[in-house]
Amino acid sequence: MQKLSFPAIPPLPVLDDDHFHDECGVFGICRHVDAAAHTALGLHALQHRGQEAAGIVSYDGRQFHSHRAMGHVGDNFNSSDVIASLPGEMAIGHNRYSTSGDKAIRNVQPLFAEFKFGGLAIAHNGNLTNARTLRKSLVDRGCIFQSTSDTETFIHLIARSDGTNVVERVIDALKQVEGAYSLVAMTQEKLIGVRDPHGVRPLVLGKTGDAYILASETCALDIIGAEYIRDIAPGELIVIDKNGMHSYSPFAPVQSKFCIFEYIYFARPDSNVENHNVYQVRKNIGAELARESHVEADVVVPVPDSGVPAALGYAEQADIPFELGIIRNHYVGRTFIEPSQQIRNLGVRLKHNANGRYLEGKRVVLVDDSIVRGTTSVKIVDMVRAAGAAEVHMRISSPPTAHSCHYGIDTPESDELMASRMDLDEMIKTIGVDSLAFISFDGLYRAVGKERRDNDVPQFCDACFSGEYPLRLTDKVDGPEPAQLSLLRERGQG
Ligand code: SF4
């Protein structure tokens, strides 16, 4: 029998569904007998913030213990043996979403290092905008980097600091970095949490019994039954040790620039972020969209799952029935090896299917959270039309995404973004819709409780929509030329 041979086609990232991708979730806990198990649960709740790798480091009073692995939390921290190998009452953990070419175990956090003062494990969510510049100067001064992660920059800065104690050293390091970061760190005695001065990425404080918890989102507190205490303030450094909790404000106060995209897409809808319930904000955006760009229609249909709350808000405001006209398959793996171009062309239907009965002959308002490259939108609209929709009107719960993020979100280059290449009419034609509307800046800001966007000093970071980057982009503007960060390639590295 003749052996079939298929052309070598790289796996298609089925869940790479034309969204920006958050890069990390962090979790830390101290004074709890089941610290590692609780950290695994917390990371499980934060899985949406990073699916490439996960890691936990614990401290048992004598020694640090580490387990880091590529893949999901549930695949790597699902056995009692693994949890038992992470003893102690203090632990920190991290979920990572890495960009391709950077998927190596040496980059999986938490990173650990031995210092003059003892051990320190560290994990961070965000992106340092002067990491390359700092790395170059540290390498020039003899530092030997073991990873290509910007998190390691903190380690070398802490090591070289003249501070007389660990908190002083951490503060010294923080004062040299620029960019967006929410980090958790752990020494033999202290659990430390910090948000950058602008508070771009989230970090919350919780408590269960005597144990304190730091986590990227409140959903990680809910899963372990912990009480939400408060958000860590922008620029605040929290230290928890046997003497209790201490708060430091090492930076001069600056305007807060929380990432508005957390509300639109990144955060889990059941999380409360900076005193706003994310699900409610998304519904508010939908209602604003309905007010701003109403259209006569028979049904409001979300692109699941992320478009659901905004579609509900739209439907309620417009008084149009809400229907799940598209069903999402939740069991599609992260990648799906497709043996032929023909199957590859099936594309989005691996993940979404039309629920034809609710689309046929209908004027459909299709609600999604964003359009990045536009590839998914084209396929979804095609599918809805093939199911017999009479009209398709697309409503997007973010402004046009026309710029890359440099603050910890994995994004395509600007010229790959549909909104940077096309005007509205061209987008309508390319996507194949009867009409297309995006939420306005003021509508978005109203949904988050502001009267309008303050165009002189915007209350949030919205740079991927506006192009106004609130934090200095040192590496991009005057940093060293991008260089190969490491000569080492690990087995299995993407
Ligand atoms: S550029 Fe966009 S995604 Fe990045 S931090 Fe700002 S609002 Fe968030």
Place of tokens 């095609």: 382
Question: Residue 459 in contact with residue 453, Cβ under 8 Å?
Answer: yes
Write the DSSP symbol of residue 141.
T
Q: What is the pLDDT of residues 335-344, one digit of tens each?
A: 444 445 566 5
Least confident of 99-113, 171-185, 237-251: 99-113
Write the DSSP symbol of residue 358.
G
Arithmetic mean of pLDDT over the chain = 90
pLDDT on residue 17: 61
Indicate whether 1 pLDDT > 70: no
Residue nearest to atom 4 of ligand 1 (CA): 405
Residue nearest to atom 7 of ligand 1 (CA): 462
Kindly state if the Cβ of 409 falls inside 6 Å of ligand 1.
Answer: yes
Pair of tokens at residue 38: 């609780």
Q: Look up residue 88 and give its amino acid.
A: G
* % helix, strand, coil for the chain, step of 5: 30, 25, 45
How far, in Å, CA of 284 to CA of 307, rounded?
Answer: 13
Question: To test the ligand 1 pocket, which listed residue (181, 198, 261) has its Cβ within 8 A of the most ligand atoms?
Answer: 261
pLDDT on residue 165: 95
Q: Is residue 461 annotated as part of the catalytic site, yes or no?
A: no
Least confident of 20-24, 80-84, 268-272: 20-24
Find the 223 Cα to ligand 1 centroid distance in Å: 27
pLDDT on residue 263: 97
Place of tokens 């028979």: 298
User: Exposed, middle or buried: residue 477 (CB in 10 Å: 0-12, 13-18, 19+)?
Assistant: exposed
Find the 463 Cα to ligand 1 centroid distance in Å: 6
Kindly state if the Cβ of 185 falls inside 6 Å of ligand 1.
Answer: no
Pair of tokens at residue 271: 């999380």
Residue 297 C-beta-side C-alpha neighbours within 13 Å: 32
pLDDT on residue 493: 61
How far, in Å, CA of 260 to CA of 242, rounded?
Answer: 36
Tell me the sheet residues that pair with 365: 300, 393
Find the 406 Cα to ligand 1 centroid distance in Å: 7
Kindly state if the Cβ of 389 falls inside 6 Å of ligand 1.
Answer: no
pLDDT on residue 234: 98
3 state DSSP class of 64: strand
Q: Closest by alpha carbon to 92, among 141, 125, 62? A: 125
Q: What is the mean pLDDT of residues 188-198?
A: 97
Which residues, 6+ apart, have CB-to-CB distance to 63 below 8 Å?
none
Q: What is the pLDDT of residues 76-105, one digit of tens each?
A: 999 999 999 999 999 999 999 864 336 788
Kindly state if the Cβ of 266 falls inside 6 Å of ligand 1.
Answer: no
pLDDT on residue 483: 64
Indicate whether 242 pLDDT > 80: yes
Confidence bin at 218 (pLDDT 50/70/90): very high
Kindly state if the Cβ of 372 falls inside 6 Å of ligand 1.
Answer: no
Place of tokens 């905008």: 129
Pair of tokens at residue 111: 């990173």
* pTM, to two decimals: 0.92
Q: What is the pLDDT of residues 28-48, one digit of tens each?
A: 999 999 999 999 999 999 999
User: Exposed, middle or buried: residue 184 (CB in 10 Å: 0-12, 13-18, 19+)?
Assistant: buried
3 state DSSP class of 191: strand
Q: Look up residue 219 and give its amino acid.
A: C
How far, in Å, CA of 236 to CA of 196, rounded?
Answer: 8
- Identify the active-site residue in 24, 405, 461, 464: 24
Q: What are phi and psi of 105, to 5 degrees?
A: -60, -30
The DSSP string of 431-449 is: HT-SEEEE--HHHHHHHTT
How far, in Å, CA of 206 to CA of 27, rounded?
Answer: 11
pLDDT on residue 345: 56
Question: To test the ligand 1 pocket, which listed residue (24, 257, 461) has its Cβ within 8 A of the most ligand atoms?
Answer: 461
- The torsion of the CA quartet 269, 263, 382, 387, rounded to 10 degrees, works out to 30
Q: What is the pLDDT of residues 58-74, one digit of tens each?
A: 999 999 999 999 999 99
How far, in Å, CA of 199 to CA of 125, rounded?
Answer: 11
Residue nearest to atom 8 of ligand 1 (CA): 259
Question: To test the ligand 1 pocket, which listed residue (405, 453, 465) has its Cβ within 8 A of the most ligand atoms?
Answer: 405
Q: Is the dihedral of CA 191, 275, 409, 160 positive or negative?
A: negative
How far, in Å, CA of 73 to CA of 62, rounded?
Answer: 26
Question: Residue 191 in contact with residue 245, Cβ under 8 Å?
Answer: no
Kindly state if the Cβ of 405 falls inside 6 Å of ligand 1.
Answer: yes
pLDDT on residue 225: 98
Indicate whether 187 pLDDT > 90: yes
For 137-156, give one letter per residue: b (16+ CB within 10 A) or e.
ebeeeebebebbbbbbbbbb
Highest mean pLDDT: which of 312-321, 342-351, 399-408? 312-321
Find the 234 Cα to ligand 1 centroid distance in Å: 16
Per the model's pLDDT, the better-predicted residue between 188 and 329 turns out to be: 188
Q: What is the mean pLDDT of residues 106-117?
A: 94
3 state DSSP class of 135: helix
Q: What is the mean pLDDT of residues 94-118?
A: 83
The DSSP string of 303-348 is: -TTTTHHHHHHHHHHHT--B---EEE-TT--S-B--SSHHHHTTGG
